[in-house]
Structure 1
Amino acid sequence: MVLAGFLILMVSWGTQFSFSVFFAPLARDFGWDRASTSGVFSLSILLFGVGSIFAGRMADRWGPRHVVAAGGILMAGGLLLSSGTQSLWQLYLFYGVTIGLAVSAGWGPLAAAVPRWFPAQRGLAMGIMSIGISVGILVIPFLSSHLISAFGWRFSFAILGLITGTVIIGSVFLLKKGPTPSEETPGGKGLAPVSPLSPSTKDWSLTEALGARVFWVFFFGYLLWCTGFYMISVHLAVYGIDLGFSPAGAALAVSLIGGGSIFGKLFMGMLSDRIGPQKVMVINLVLQGLCIFGLILSRNPLPFYLFSALFGFGYGGTGPQIPLVVAQFFGLPSLGAILGVLILSGQIGGAIGPLLAGKIFDLSRSYLGGFFMGGTCVMVSSLLFFLLFFLLRTPAKISGGEKGPVFKSPGPG
């Protein structure tokens, strides 16, 4: 199960993050400004969020296999069609719409399934599976850069389509439907506490979660984090080119995000099982915000690559904690649907961030203002997730005037 998720996330997220290295040749060949070009990725991210709601619901009902297989077909088809792009609207349709929906069929269903299969080691299991994302970001953008240099962006899109389709469809056969209640723990007694944060005293429905104060703190914290994170992810390579790096050298910075996130996921996955996912999230969000400010000041290779790698480390330590926190706040039965709505919040931010940075650049011919706003968004996100500690001590108010369970405060770290 974890191996299949690793491979699926590796090719799907690695391909999606490769848009950063396609950015410059697409804008150059068609004469598009940076706001219009980054809008393709923004649309993809937004539809990733919308699709995650439906993908999560379908996975809760039928298991992840059919949902992920459909995503693999969509991704392969979208990339192959993107290779024949002749105008901006075609790339918005072939890449923006199709790739966004395809990636949504992978992360949400897999993130909901793995905690059910490994209740006693969720942090480690999610960390290992999510390393697939990191390996994909490390390898595929760098590979795409060399393919583009040698054969052009059209051929590179087509090759990525064939690779992703083959790997995802092949990996689907390793996926399983969710375990029965007796399989969720070795003792067959259901979900056991797995971290310093005690789990919810009941399983929440999506409707109940939408009425909870803690849900909306999570919603806006996730939105702000993704605003800053995707802003950097999309514009980092072209920012590096503006600083004087070669296309391959700028692509290396994107790959270092993936490389750094491997270590972040390994180390922070184990730390999460010891001190709890909330504390790990806050630590890594602060690190990412500081690294964005560091990138603003970078003018030489050493700080540019160092802050890129540390930014990736923080990203790797943050992402896998999200389904863990959600599972422990709201329970497992509706986890896919609740994650889907939260993923949508992140992708709204992920759509805003790249567009905002592109527009600010088109107006000012500089990334300074955009990146500063991105760093500020991430730092505010860390503050919101820190506030969850205080919400745990009070009842969560539910729509209709009812009160939800009282969440217990984390134990000593």
Structure 2
Amino acid sequence: MISAAFCTSILQLYICIGVISGFGLALNLQPSVIIIGKYFLKRRPIANGLAMAGSPVMLCTLAPLNQFLFDHFGWRGSFFILGAILLNCCVAGALFRPIGMAASPAPKQAIKHAGQEQPSKSLVEMVHPNTVSSLAGTGEKEDKDCCEKFNKYLDLSLFKHRGFLIYLIGNVLMFLGFFAPIVFLAPYAKHLGIDEYSAAFLLSILAMVDMVARPATGIIANSKWVRPKIQYFFSFSIAFNGACHLLCPLATGYTGLVVYSVFFGLAFGMVCAMLFETLMDLVGAARFTSAVGLVTIAECCTILLGPPIGGTLIDTFGDYKYMFIKCGAVMVLAGIFLFIMNYYNYRMLAKEEKEKKEMEENMQNSKHIRTETEDGNIWDKEKMQDGSEAEPLREELGLKKEVNGKSEV
């Protein structure tokens, strides 16, 4: 951001603001979201809502601050001051601490010894006639190790996860219309004849409502009635967001835009508060790191396409209402899709859980029957052994009786 203050062309601004600043902000957001999942479990939705409430605080002051800085310091001075403000994120990042005991060095030493023993084994195997097969086996092991290391950082097996795929498709569709209304809200107000400061203040209204909506949504999502079915609540918030955009063209004055900004801020805060909580609810905390990375990679395309498509509609028709209708229709469609597919996912999960319980009961019953049959077989074997041992004694007793009988006669 600071380097953008010294740019002399649009291409340099694209590199400094788009590439370098975007990369830095990504490194800022992703770890903070992941660390929340590591620190909290029982009240995780509230923690997510409170943590996400920080961004609207800056958004609330950013629009008038940008206008003030531009008027007094120009665009170069504005970038320089904003970059200095962003440097304070380094202090916040330095306060994060890992959770859990540090790993003992003993396993590492064992791994080193194992690694040192492997070359000697390979020399022995070279003497063996089956050298080619042994080398092929070591090659396969190395490939497996590489795949395991890669999956450790980016778990591609998530693409086989039903809930993750539903979330990914719904969010990719949603982001086509998620950010464009924020980008074009102030220009739309200016298009209606509203002055620059009043148009910028609409974003401040949106941010103030958003700041309250995020922690409030976290409290609601953490309740015992909503958290078991939080995916439905997330689907509703997306559809509600889309409905606000569909009704925005009805606002033809500043009062109508203020009302739209209030409802848009509420819907925007609801979605942002549950955006990562619903993903963690689906994949679990252990796979959340990889899931966030994969979702972000897939969502970037639609996030980049959303505003340009909206701008194309504005340039084509010469009116902002078609852009708001497009965004609203896409988000309502995404909310309906997520609601239907999450209903299907909940039904399938309940069915799989039921089948799992039945299998466990059947296994327990089969084990019980097996133990009973084994006890019965042991009992029969003991009786047979007792019978075979008792036959010689019976024969001896019978002979004694016969001899005694003859002697008596």
Superposition TM-score, scaled by structure 2 size: 0.69
1:119 corresponds in structure 2 to: 41
Distance 1:170 1:302, change over 3 A: same
Find the residue that maps to 1:250 and give its secondary structure: helix
1:14 corresponds in structure 2 to: none
Find the residue that maps to 2:177 and give its secondary structure: helix
| Distance in 2, Cα, partners of 1:209 & 1:406 | 23
Find the residue that maps to 1:177 and give its secondary structure: coil
2:94 corresponds in structure 1 to: 173
2:202 corresponds in structure 1 to: 253
Q: CA RMSD in A?
A: 2.7
Alpha-carbon displacement from aligned partner over 1:112-138 (angstroms, at most 9, x marks no partner): 111221111001111111110111111
1:377 corresponds in structure 2 to: 330
Given residue 344 of structure 2, which amino acid in structure 1 is its aligned partner? F
Tell me if the contact between 1:144 and 1:156 (Cα under 8 Å) persists in the aligned partners: yes
Matches within 5 A, 1:16-31: none
| Distance in 2, Cα, partners of 1:389 & 1:180 | 40
Given residue 180 of structure 2, which amino acid in structure 1 is its aligned partner? M
2:167 corresponds in structure 1 to: 218
Alpha-carbon displacement from aligned partner over 1:200-236 (angstroms, at most 9, x marks no partner): xxx9982221122322221121122222121112121
Radius of gyration: which is bigger? 2
1:335 corresponds in structure 2 to: 288
| Distance in 2, Cα, partners of 1:174 & 1:298 | 45
Distance 1:280 1:149, change over 3 A: farther
Find the residue that maps to 1:286 and give its secondary structure: helix
2:158 corresponds in structure 1 to: 209
Given residue 155 of structure 2, which amino acid in structure 1 is its aligned partner? L
1:88 corresponds in structure 2 to: 10
Distance 1:395 1:160, change over 3 A: same
Does 2:79 correspond to 1:157? yes
| Distance in 2, Cα, partners of 1:149 & 1:385 | 45
Percent of residue pairs identical: 21
| Aligned with 2:236 (options 261, 283, 299) | 283
Alpha-carbon displacement from aligned partner over 1:302-351 (angstroms, at most 9, x marks no partner): 11012112111111111221222222221212211211111233332211
Tell me if the contact between 1:138 and 1:259 (Cα under 8 Å) persists in the aligned partners: yes
Matches within 5 A, 1:288-303: 288-303=241-256
| Distance in 2, Cα, partners of 1:282 & 1:240 | 29
| Distance in 2, Cα, partners of 1:108 & 1:394 | 31
- The structure in which a higher percent of residues are helix is 2
| Aligned with 2:178 (options 223, 229, 238) | 229
Task: Kindly indicate whether structure 1 or structure 2 has the higher relative contact order, using CA contacts under 8 Å at least 6 residues apart.
Answer: 1
Q: Cα distance, 1:291 vs. partner?
A: 1.4
Alpha-carbon displacement from aligned partner over 1:345-378 (angstroms, at most 9, x marks no partner): 3332211110111122222322222221111111
Find the residue that maps to 1:172 and give its secondary structure: helix
| Distance in 2, Cα, partners of 1:86 & 1:220 | 40
1:35 corresponds in structure 2 to: none
Given residue 169 of structure 1, which amino acid in structure 2 is its aligned partner? C
Tell me if the contact between 1:220 and 1:345 (Cα under 8 Å) persists in the aligned partners: no
Q: Cα distance, 1:300 vs. partner?
A: 0.9
Distance 1:406 1:207, change over 3 A: farther
1:349 corresponds in structure 2 to: 302
Task: In structure 2, list runs of 5 or more residues that go unmatched.
Answer: 103-151, 358-409
1:52 corresponds in structure 2 to: none
Find the residue that maps to 1:86 and give its secondary structure: coil
Superposition TM-score, scaled by structure 1 size: 0.68
| Distance in 1, Cα, partners of 2:8 & 2:279 | 42
Task: In structure 1, list runs of 5 or more residues that go unmatched.
Answer: 1-78, 182-202, 397-402, 409-413
Aligned length: 302
2:61 corresponds in structure 1 to: 139
| Distance in 1, Cα, partners of 2:198 & 2:282 | 43
| Distance in 1, Cα, partners of 2:189 & 2:354 | 49
2:375 corresponds in structure 1 to: none
Find the residue that maps to 1:119 and give its secondary structure: coil
Tell me if the contact between 1:392 and 1:407 (Cα under 8 Å) persists in the aligned partners: no
Given residue 131 of structure 1, which amino acid in structure 2 is its aligned partner? A
1:28 corresponds in structure 2 to: none
Given residue 94 of structure 2, which amino acid in structure 1 is its aligned partner? F
Alpha-carbon displacement from aligned partner over 1:3-24 (angstroms, at most 9, x marks no partner): xxxxxxxxxxxxxxxxxxxxxx
